Amino acid sequence: MDNEDERTAPTKNALSDLQSRRDRLLERRGRAQRLYYALVSVSLLLLVVAPVLAWRLYSSSSIIWLYMLLYALMPLAMLPTYRIRLRQVENDIYELDFQIDLQEFEVSKQESRAEKILRLNDFQLRRYYDLNIRQNSWVFGLGVFCIVLGIGVIGM
């Protein structure tokens, strides 16, 4: 009996450590989400309000309203950074959930090997998807930039 308690004690400690790390990551994700959504709100608000306010305060022939619009776009430039940070925290939570699941049940050597192979394949597939999403986002951003540039050239 004592031998069995000694084997399960480290597992329970490891499990409680993983769960406390998961709780901390959940709090961190909550803060990151609030910051991200606040930044999105401020960006959209500035994007709408700044040009209208600048247009009313300065004459339409003045170029200052254009500078105000560019300043309003600055928080939008920070959004990808915060989105990546949020995604990293979510990936960490996913990994900890997987580790917690592994700690809760005893598995044989073959099951452990199969889980490792599955995890490796999952990691490679996720890396491929992330690469694809980054490339598609870049192409989309380039397309939007070309449209805006075309409108600017035609408008001048």
Does residue 94 belong to any structural domain of this protein?
no
Q: How far is CA 66 from the centre of its chain?
A: 31
Could you tell me the two tokens for 12? 């329970």
* pLDDT interval class at 61 (50, 70, 90): low
Does residue 102 belong to any structural domain of this protein?
no
The model's pLDDT over 21-53, given as tens digits with 9 standing for 90+, comes to 989 999 999 998 998 899 888 888 887 887 777
| pLDDT over 80 at 117, yes or no | yes
Across the range 6-13, mean pLDDT stands at 54
Give me the torsion for CA of 40, 74, 149, 55, rounded to 10°: 90
Does residue 95 belong to any structural domain of this protein?
no
Does residue 101 belong to any structural domain of this protein?
no
Residues 6+ apart with CB under 8 A from 96: 18, 21, 22, 25
> So what's the pLDDT on residue 78?
82
Does residue 9 belong to any structural domain of this protein?
yes
The whole-angstrom separation of Cα 24 and Cα 31 is: 11
How much of the chain, in percent, has pLDDT values that exceed 90? 12
Does residue 41 belong to any structural domain of this protein?
yes
End-to-end CA distance of the chain: 85
Domain count, the chain: 2
Same structural domain, 123 and 152:
yes
The whole domain housing 61 covers 1-89
Same structural domain, 84 and 140:
no
